[in-house]
Chains A and B, each alone.
Chain A
Amino acid sequence: MEEKRQQQKKERNKQIEEFISKLPEGRKIYYRFGNLMVEVSREEALELIKKEEEK
């Protein structure tokens, strides 16, 4: 069950990575830290997704 959830999470994150990669230049990206939405670069966002996946 947990394995399946991890697999689904990986697939979802892959879709998000693709979505971010396809975004036109200049579009703002935000990452939510608790109640705060922090503007991040595309690279930072991709890195944060990876980190979140490893948790």
Chain B
Amino acid sequence: MAAKKEIKKDDKRMAELNRELRSYINQIETLRVNITNIDALISEYRTTITTLQNLKDLGKGKEVLLPVGRIAQVSAKLEAVEKVVVSIGSSISVELTFDEAVKQIEKEISALILLRQALEKTMVELYGKVEELTQKIREHGREEATAEEGKK
């Protein structure tokens, strides 16, 4: 009877460890998705800066194609890129000078890089915890096997 209770207790402990392990793995997955999204955003912002710079260099009067949905474009004449409307969050966009706009986008990129570093650090910590837990589970399994052997 006591041995049965012991086994049940062991099963419960093993289940707890496994649950904890799954939770850490899920958190790592979520962080990985977030980091991928941040990378995409950083890349998009960098492209935006390059595009703005190119439009400015091309100058007033150039013909550009404006996308109308995904499939069609209409031509338009480019005005001087002296003012750029930039989204600053919470559905608000503001008109900025070219230099201010580039600076604002660079600031956003820096903030995203910092956030990415923080997420990466958390991910490394979680990997450490996963490693630790895996070790615990392995040891627990080994102990259980030894106990079973002893009973035989």
| Secondary structure dominating the interface of B | strand
How far apart are the CA atoms of A18 and B88 in the complex, in Å?
11
Inter-chain contact A27/B90, CB cutoff 8 Å: no
B85-102 CB mask vs A (1 if < 8 Å, else 0) is 101111111111000000
A30 touches B85 (CB 8 A): yes
Q: Please state if B95 and A48 are interface contacts (CB–CB under 8 Å).
A: no
Residue of B nearest to A13 (CB): B90
Q: B91 touches which one: A19, A20, A28, A48 (CB < 8 A)?
A: A48
Pair count A-B, CB < 8 A:
46
The reply to whether A30 and B96 form a contact with Cβ atoms under 8 Å apart is no
Find residues 61-101 in chain B having any chain A CB closer than 8 Å to their own CB.
85, 87-96
B92 and A12: CB pair below 8 A?
no
Whether A54 is near chain B, meaning CB under 8 Å from some CB there, is: no
Q: Which of A34-51 contact B (CB under 8 A)?
A: 37, 45, 48-49
A20-B92 CB under 8 A given contacts A28-B85, A30-B85: yes
Fill in one digit per residue for A13-29: 1 if any B CB lies within 8 Å of its CB, else 0: 10010011001000111
Q: Name the CB-closest residue of A to B104.
A: A19
Cβ contacts under 8 Å, B87 to chain A: 32
Can you name the residue of chain A whose Cβ is closest to the Cβ of B91? Answer: A32
Q: Which residues of A contact B (CB under 8 A)?
A: 12-13, 16, 19-20, 23, 27-33, 37, 45, 48-49, 52
Contacts from B to A (Cβ < 8 Å): 85, 87-96
